[in-house]
């Protein structure tokens, strides 16, 4: 029982409880009898009122009273005086039930039901609420009812906002009031209501208010989430923009058939193999956007390209996504190796907008060239050996900046990937940074450090003049501190730390180049002259900065602490991936791979697949459990292998979408001989399994 001490009942207590129980039981049987006999006499109603006072949660009794109300309203529809008396009596019963149990859903709803019958007395309702909210300022039933009454009585939003100010002034530790404030303010800002425009002025005042709460008691969580919300609103005043693309601006791509060695290749970072003469075109925005289609992205080319179909790079979200993909198909009939130029412009006409539809994307224009050489015939040969992820097989590569797949400058022209941040936004974030530094100089609190880390990241992302490297270093230190200061949440800070670390690696050309390699042995056409990125042994628990990795074809993430690979689906060029020696707990964690159609080689050896009874990615994976995948009845596999399917359904759904040629799975609990036999059945193109050639 909530909040009741555990102690053996004394005999006199037991006796009293039995007497009460008998009384209650008697009332309950009377109620049910009256209910079934549709007896709405005065005496019968009295029974239900007494009963509800004792047991306000008894929903059948509330239903009975509603039936009685309807009965009497039907009987005397025009007698206003008696209707008023009936409704008043119901409000009285509901009120006394609430005095008994202020958390009774049934009693609160009964009041709502009566009010919506046309009984209205705002003052009375607000007075009653005042009483209840004084007793418990956090009662969410009372707050819900307050919103209902405000809506019913057309109380203006700014008046209700004022009420939240009063509540916060009385006691800032009132999360319910902060919550209601955010909901009301969002509406008022959206409507550009009088006194709530411009947004910048309003937000500045809100920062002032929430500072008082956080700085008075930094350990009280009431203001934490409101401050983060304000920061989000501040950053959101900027329009979405294109962060990166593949191919990138002013880039030359060599397109050749799979398995055809091309001596003219400029660098591994610009070659792309495809049998169909198709290259992906990927747009990556700083925030989810909607409205990407062939009319909002204008693609002009010297080659005759068909109308492009744009798809979001996420399996279930059809509306808004950070990453969008289309495919450019080049003519195959012309045999001459030739450069086609492609120009892409977005933002004219202004159809692409943020997920909320509030801002249009910043207009951007970029162009690249594609050398098409589709001579030769494609080969199915996978070479004599599989890919081996040993250090000695990778050599660091020297490439000229011109051939590097994206720019690191701080571009200012309209033609480049860059945000357009308002001065107000930059200034606001700077002010906040200064304030939180001051707070931290006085007290070593976790919310101070965490907020400062978030502010510095926002500053790095939005300010054109920030020294990103120095900011990121400071944020990394803050997360290190937080891991020590608040060890219960160490993995939260670790995940954040990983994201910052990846931003740091990708923030300069030099630091990223240290992780770029070529594969030494050119025995397999699938890895030949491919662009390799190695982030092995990098102590990351999470993937980020994928917008900087769109060009990667071979990725080594082995020896990290990854449990999931969210975001990897944006790396559409990926053909070989090592996740060996991580903390992947289930095949469902590999959902992003289902969107990577070029993937041929996968190493997931030495993970934790099969070791956990609880699967934390079960619902982030498309399957019949979430109605996002149906079992294919026509499949032979389904018909003949039910036992296997029951144990290995995750692997089945994952691998049926990927045509892998090489897979390493050893070192996982699940990896038995029968499981391997199952894999061979569902992966018809598999050449290598755990280093052995598949027969």
Partner 1 sequence: MGELATEKHVQYILSVEKRKDDFQSVVMEHLRMNGAYWGLTALDILGKLNIVDADEVVSWVMSCQHESGGFAGNVGHDPHILYTLSAVQVLALFDKLDVLDVDKVTNYVVGLQNEDGSFSGDIWGEVDSRFSYIAILCLSLLHQLDKINVEKAVNFVVSCKNMDGGFGCTPGGESHSGQIFCCVGALALTGSLHHVDKDLLGWWLCERQVKSGGLNGRPEKLPDVCYSWWVLSSLIMIDRVHWINKEKLIKFILDCQDTENGGISDRPDDAVDVYHTYFGIAGLSLLEYPSLKAIDPAYALPVDVVNRIRLGKRHAI
Residues 102-121 that bind partner 1 (CB under 8 A): 105, 109, 112-113
Tell whether residue 241 is a contact of partner 1 (CB under 8 A).
no
The dihedral region occupied by 210, where left means phi > 0, alpha psi between -120 and 50, and beta the remainder, is alpha
Minimum CB distance to partner 1, residue 265 (Å)? 38
Burial environment of residue 193 by CB neighbours within 10 A (0 to 12, 13 to 18, 19 or more): middle
Kindly identify the residues of this chain, within the stretch 182-221, that bind partner 1 according to CB under 8 A. 182-183, 186, 220-221
Question: Which range binds partner 1 by CB under 8 A, 38-46, 74-82, 525-533, 642-650?
Answer: 642-650
Nearer to partner 1, 88 or 173 (CB): 173
Kindly identify the residues of this chain, within the stretch 352-381, that bind partner 1 according to CB under 8 A. none
Among 482, 500, 513, 588, residue whose Cα is nearest residue 540: 500
**Inter-residue contact 300 to 342 (CB < 8 Å):** yes
Minimum CB distance to partner 1, residue 171 (Å)? 11
Can you tell me which of 10, 12, 36, 423 binds partner 1, judged by CB under 8 A?
A: 36
**Inter-residue contact 546 to 523 (CB < 8 Å):** no
Nearer to partner 1, 408 or 492 (CB): 492
Can you tell me which of 152, 202, 228, 694 binds partner 1, judged by CB under 8 A?
A: 228
Q: SS3 for 472?
A: helix
Cα–Cα dist 154/158, whole Å: 11
Nearer to partner 1, 529 or 586 (CB): 586
Nearer to partner 1, 112 or 681 (CB): 112
Minimum CB distance to partner 1, residue 78 (Å)? 25
The dihedral region occupied by 345, where left means phi > 0, alpha psi between -120 and 50, and beta the remainder, is beta
Cα–Cα dist 332/341, whole Å: 16
- Give the Cα-Cα-Cα angle 257, 263, 269 (nearest 5 degrees): 70
Nearer to partner 1, 175 or 394 (CB): 175
Can you tell me which of 341, 537, 626, 669 binds partner 1, judged by CB under 8 A?
A: 626
Kindly identify the residues of this chain, within the stretch 449-488, that bind partner 1 according to CB under 8 A. 487-488
Kindly identify the residues of this chain, within the stretch 293-332, that bind partner 1 according to CB under 8 A. 314, 316-317
Nearer to partner 1, 32 or 434 (CB): 32
Tell whether residue 3 is a contact of partner 1 (CB under 8 A).
yes
Minimum CB distance to partner 1, residue 120 (Å)? 18
Which pair of tokens denotes residue 411? 């571009």
Cα–Cα dist 96/100, whole Å: 6
Among 525, 531, 562, 564, residue whose Cα is nearest residue 548: 531
Nearer to partner 1, 237 or 662 (CB): 237
Residue 273, H or E segment? strand 271-273
Minimum CB distance to partner 1, residue 98 (Å)? 16
Tell whether residue 523 is a contact of partner 1 (CB under 8 A).
no
Tell whether residue 631 is a contact of partner 1 (CB under 8 A).
yes
Minimum CB distance to partner 1, residue 154 (Å)? 15
Nearer to partner 1, 225 or 408 (CB): 225
Minimum CB distance to partner 1, residue 546 (Å)? 15
Cα–Cα dist 19/556, whole Å: 73
Nearer to partner 1, 342 or 478 (CB): 478
Kindly identify the residues of this chain, within the stretch 555-594, that bind partner 1 according to CB under 8 A. 563-564, 566, 589
> Sign of the C-alpha dihedral, residues 110, 112, 114, 116?
negative
Among 663, 653, 656, residue whose Cα is nearest residue 694: 663
Tell whether residue 390 is a contact of partner 1 (CB under 8 A).
no
Tell whether residue 140 is a contact of partner 1 (CB under 8 A).
yes
Which pair of tokens denotes residue 272? 């792309």
Among 589, 498, 492, residue whose Cα is nearest residue 546: 498
Question: Which range binds partner 1 by CB under 8 A, 85-93, 173-181, 337-345, 367-375?
Answer: 173-181
The DSSP result for 225-265, as a single string, is HHHHHHHHHHHTTSPP-EEEEESPTTEEEEEE-TT---TT-
Minimum CB distance to partner 1, residue 28 (Å)? 7
Nearer to partner 1, 135 or 183 (CB): 183
Minimum CB distance to partner 1, residue 633 (Å)? 6
Minimum CB distance to partner 1, residue 626 (Å)? 4
Minimum CB distance to partner 1, residue 574 (Å)? 21
Cα–Cα dist 54/72, whole Å: 25
Burial environment of residue 213 by CB neighbours within 10 A (0 to 12, 13 to 18, 19 or more): buried
Q: How many residues bind partner 1 (CB under 8 A)?
A: 85
Nearer to partner 1, 104 or 274 (CB): 104
Q: SS3 for 526?
A: coil
Tell whether residue 37 is a contact of partner 1 (CB under 8 A).
no
Tell whether residue 402 is a contact of partner 1 (CB under 8 A).
no
Nearer to partner 1, 62 or 526 (CB): 62
Question: Which range binds partner 1 by CB under 8 A, 1-9, 76-84, 238-246, 415-423?
Answer: 1-9
What binding mask, one character per residue, do residues 491-510 give for partner 1 by CB under 8 A, x or -? xx--x---------------
**Inter-residue contact 426 to 462 (CB < 8 Å):** yes
Can you tell me which of 103, 618, 656, 681 binds partner 1, judged by CB under 8 A?
A: 618
Cα–Cα dist 258/275, whole Å: 6
Minimum CB distance to partner 1, residue 491 (Å)? 4
Minimum CB distance to partner 1, residue 463 (Å)? 22
Q: What order do you get walking across the sheet with 364-373 strand by strand?
A: 271-273, 251-256, 364-373, 338-346, 297-301
Minimum CB distance to partner 1, residue 205 (Å)? 17
Query: How are beta strands 554-556 and 532-534 bridged, if at all?
Result: parallel
Tell whether residue 616 is a contact of partner 1 (CB under 8 A).
yes
Minimum CB distance to partner 1, residue 372 (Å)? 36
Among 69, 73, 572, residue whose Cα is nearest residue 61: 69
Kindly identify the residues of this chain, within the stretch 65-84, that bind partner 1 according to CB under 8 A. 66
**Inter-residue contact 452 to 437 (CB < 8 Å):** yes
**Inter-residue contact 396 to 516 (CB < 8 Å):** yes
């Amino acid at each position: 029982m909530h909040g009741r001490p555990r102690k053996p009942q004394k005999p006199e207590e037991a006796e009293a409880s039995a007497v009460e129980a008998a009384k209650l039981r008697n009332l309950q049987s009377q109620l049910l009898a009256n209910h079934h006999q549709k007896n709405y006499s005065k005496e019968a109603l009295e029974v239900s009122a007494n009963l509800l006072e004792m047991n306000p949660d008894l929903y059948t009794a509330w239903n009975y009273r509603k039936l009685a109300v309807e009965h009497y309203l039907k009987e005397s529809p025009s007698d206003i005086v008696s209707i008023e008396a009936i409704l008043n009596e119901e409000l009285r019963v509901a009120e006394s039930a609430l005095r008994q149990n202020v958390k009774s859903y049934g009693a609160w709803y009964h009041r709502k039901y009566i009010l919506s019958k046309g009984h209205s007395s705002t003052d009375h309702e607000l007075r009653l609420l005042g009483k209840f909210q004084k007793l418990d300022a956090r009662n969410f039933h009372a707050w819900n009812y307050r919103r209902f009454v405000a809506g019913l009585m057309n109380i203006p939003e700014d008046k209700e906002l004022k009420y939240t100010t009063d509540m916060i002034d009385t006691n800032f530790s009132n999360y319910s009031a902060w919550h209601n404030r955010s909901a009301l303010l969002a509406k008022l800002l959206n409507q550009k209501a009088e006194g709530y425009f411009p947004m910048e002025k309003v937000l500045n005042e809100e920062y002032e208010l929430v500072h008082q709460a956080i700085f008075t008691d930094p350990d009280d969580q009431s203001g934490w989430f409101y401050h983060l919300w304000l920061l989000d609103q501040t950053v959101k005043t900027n329009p979405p923009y294109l962060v990166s693309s593949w191919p990138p601006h002013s880039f030359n791509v060599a397109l050749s058939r799979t398995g055809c060695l091309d001596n003219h290749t400029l660098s591994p970072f610009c070659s792309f193999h495809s049998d169909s003469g198709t290259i992906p075109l990927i747009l990556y925005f700083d925030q989810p956007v909607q409205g990407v289609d062939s009319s909002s992205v204008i693609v002009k080319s010297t080659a005759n390209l068909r109308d492009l179909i744009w798809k979001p790079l996420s399996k279930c979200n059809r509306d808004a996504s950070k990453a969008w993909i289309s495919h450019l198909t080049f003519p195959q009939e012309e045999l001459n190796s030739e450069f086609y130029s492609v120009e892409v412009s977005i933002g004219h006409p202004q159809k692409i907008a943020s997920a909320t539809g509030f801002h249009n994307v910043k207009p951007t224009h970029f162009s690249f060239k594609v050398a098409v050489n589709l001579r030769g015939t494609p080969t199915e040969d996978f070479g004599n050996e599989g890919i081996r992820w040993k250090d000695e097989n990778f050599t660091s590569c020297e490439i000229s900046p011109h051939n590097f797949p994206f720019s690191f400058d701080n571009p200012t022209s309209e033609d480049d990937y860059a945000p357009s941040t308002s001065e107000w936004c930059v200034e606001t974030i700077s002010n906040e940074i200064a304030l939180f530094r001051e707070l931290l100089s006085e007290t070593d609190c976790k919310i101070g450090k965490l907020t400062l880390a978030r502010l510095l990241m926002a500053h790095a992302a939005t300010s054109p003049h920030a020294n990103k490297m120095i900011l990121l270093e400071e944020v990394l230190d803050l997360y290190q501190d937080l891991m020590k200061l608040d060890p219960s949440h160490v993995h939260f800070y670790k995940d954040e730390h990983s994201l910052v670390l990846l931003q740091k690696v990708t923030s300069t050309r030099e630091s990223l180049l240290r992780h770029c390699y070529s594969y030494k042995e050119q025995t397999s056409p699938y890895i030949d002259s491919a662009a390799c990125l190695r982030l092995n042994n990098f102590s990351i628990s999470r993937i980020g900065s994928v917008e900087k990795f769109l060009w990667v074809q071979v990725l080594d993430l082995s020896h990290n602490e990854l449990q999931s690979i969210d975001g990897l689906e944006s790396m559409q060029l990926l053909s070989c991936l090592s996740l060996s020696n991580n903390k992947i707990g289930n095949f469902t964690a590999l959902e992003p791979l289902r969107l990577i159609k070029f993937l041929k080689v996968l190493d997931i050896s030495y993970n934790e697949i099969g070791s956990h009874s609880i699967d934390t990615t079960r619902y982030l994976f498309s399957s019949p459990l979430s109605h996002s995948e149906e079992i294919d009845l026509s499949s032979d596999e389904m018909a003949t292998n039910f036992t296997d399917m029951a144990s290995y359904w995750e692997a089945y759904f994952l691998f049926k979408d990927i045509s892998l040629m090489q897979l390493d799975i050893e070192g996982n609990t699940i990896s038995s001989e029968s499981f391997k036999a199952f894999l061979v059945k569902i992966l018809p193109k598999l050449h290598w399994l755990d280093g052995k050639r598949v027969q």
